[in-house]
A and B are shown apart, each in its own frame.
Chain A
Amino acid sequence: MINFNIAAWRAWAPGLDNVADWQAWSQQPQAIAASDASPDVSFLPAMQRRRLSRLARMAFSVGWPLAEGHEALPLVFVSRHGETPRTFDILSELAADQPLSPTQFSLSVHNAVIGLWSIMRGETSEMTALAAAGDGLEHGLIEACALLNEGAPAVLLVITEEQPPQAYEHWIDDVPFAYAVGLLLTPGSQWHLTLTSNNATSPSKTQWPHAIELLRHLLAGQTSFQHAWKNRLWHWQRTP
């Protein structure tokens, strides 16, 4: 079992910019139409934000306000699929026998976003980029709690997925729309998270991605719920 407090959260998806938007969505959750909409990151100078993909912009837009006022804040970045649009662009260039864009190539690793975060914030705290399965939220929490247990006063956890290019849609079925969720975690026992084996009678997955399910539970004030992913069942419990 791991324990932690969720001190604050932020989330973004196309058309959902603030708590009121999420509150409305979560009362009648439905798929959000794919769009090129991108969150506002005008708090960054133009020369710095020009290389940020939408995924990076999503991560920055939820993470930046949460990091405000924290001198040194470790970051756990979680994305199962990463920047699939960039991957697809690079592979398309390769297939056409074209030289690769050095900028695209230099940003094509999974930890590129946290690298940019580190440069732009002058942040030298420990940072991790994880690619887990559909329960990346919970795996990210384990990592974040390890950092809290080592003495970090707070840890930022960012979970984000990009709308995959059409070519991948038969293989990626757990990203209903592009989204980012940021959680500012602090030591405490507000929340308890336990893992058990999922038995065959339980559902094998949640309706929405775990990070989005968590938002729905937080907004509804639910104190006990489960997130299933294949043979793993995560039990969330809030101290009354």
Chain B
Amino acid sequence: MSDLNSDIKQLIIDALGLEDISISDIGDHQTLFGEGLGLDSVDALELGLAIQKTYGIKIDADAKDTRDHFSNVTSLAAFVTAKQAA
């Protein structure tokens, strides 16, 4: 699980071009969008695409709970794990 968290942090850094940030700068429960890491709506789309490509899963952009899945690294990891098991 913690490995997946690290992988997702690296994915965030690579996909969004966060040149001055390393894995250790992103907390497992740190809010990703708006407050916290400070990502914006274009980042959300870019990260969604990167997650789908990397983990071979499908994300429904209109689903109500998608926003919750993207709130932090831990919730994203849980989402990826659940989708891959499904």
Interface, chain A (partner B; CB < 8 A): 46-47, 49-51, 99, 101-103, 106
Contact = CB atoms under 8 A, between A and B. Distances in A.
Interface of B: 16-21, 38, 42-43, 45-46, 49, 53
B49 A47 contact: no
Contacts of A50: 16-19
B17 A51 contact: yes
Given A46-B19, A51-B17, A102 B38 contact: no
Contacts of B38: 47
B3 to A, nearest CB: 26
Nearest to A46: B20
Contacts of B16: 50, 103
Contacts of B46: 101-103
A101 B42 CA distance: 10
A103 B42 contact: yes
Contacts of A101: 46, 49
B23 to A, nearest CB: 16
Nearest to A45: B20
A19 to B, nearest CB: 29
Contacts of A102: 42, 45-46, 49
16 contacts: A46-B20, A46-B21, A47-B38, A50-B17, A50-B18, A51-B17, A99-B53, A101-B46, A101-B49, A102-B46, A103-B17, A103-B42, A103-B43, A103-B45, A103-B46, A106-B42
A49 B21 CA distance: 13
Contacts of A47: 18, 38
Nearest to B50: A101
A102 B38 CA distance: 18
A210 B20 CA distance: 37
A102 B42 CA distance: 7
A106 B45 CA distance: 11
A103 B14 CA distance: 13
